[in-house]
Structure 1
Amino acid sequence: MQILNIDDDIDDRDMFCMAIEMIDRRIDCVQVESGELAIKLLANGKYVPEFIFMDINMPRMNGYECVQELINLPTLKSTQIVILSSTFSPRDQIDFGALGLKYLSKTSSLSSLADSIKQLIQR
């Protein structure tokens, strides 16, 4: 399984990949620091992860803008996009649901993060 993590915060990216490693060391956790880099990585269709976990609050291109680009890539039709954030407004939840996205709250607990990710990827 391949999972892409898009987040401008290196500490959050590292914690995310540590959580993935706790779940299953065979899962390939790829990290990129911006939406622009993610689109470059995914646009040619050579890399197609099963899941994309993306932060909402990023400079230049935020998570919403990145999602709008990613959902138009034909190679990602079966890729589940999960939005990561510290907080979600009720409006965010409606908007994400309308796009078929899942969402996950960030936490400072590695084990809690691993449990939450595990629930999402094992459905």
Structure 2
Amino acid sequence: MKLLQMIGQGVILWVIFLLGNQITAVTGLPIPGTVFGMVLLFLLLLCGIIKLHYIQDAADFLLKHMLFFFVPVAVGLMDWGAVFYEHGVVLAAALLAGAVLPFFTVGILTQLLHKGDK
């Protein structure tokens, strides 16, 4: 029974993933379908159309085993050593900016939004 429940929850998540990819294909926007899928899932949860317990077990399983899904990607990156050697500084700067800028942006926005609460 638990296996069928997990499969059903996985199907719900898979359908949302496919819908996100379809949104990308239809709109032609340069945004990955997975991003649209995440936004769609968030909106469905926010509106109460999908309850958290409908997908909780499958989502927990995927999050718990996330490292397993990234191992093939990490192994594939080993073939790209020359690219990392040649463009390592640019890639490091992009990673640093991609981590630091959102951090400070969210902090500043939070401070601005909560300024009137004091």
TM-score range, shorter chain: under 0.3
User: Greater relative contact order (Cα 8 A, min sep 6): structure 1 or 2?
Assistant: 1
TM-score, with structure 2 as normaliser: 0.23
When you count strand as a share of all residues, which structure comes out higher? Answer: 1
TM-score, with structure 1 as normaliser: 0.23
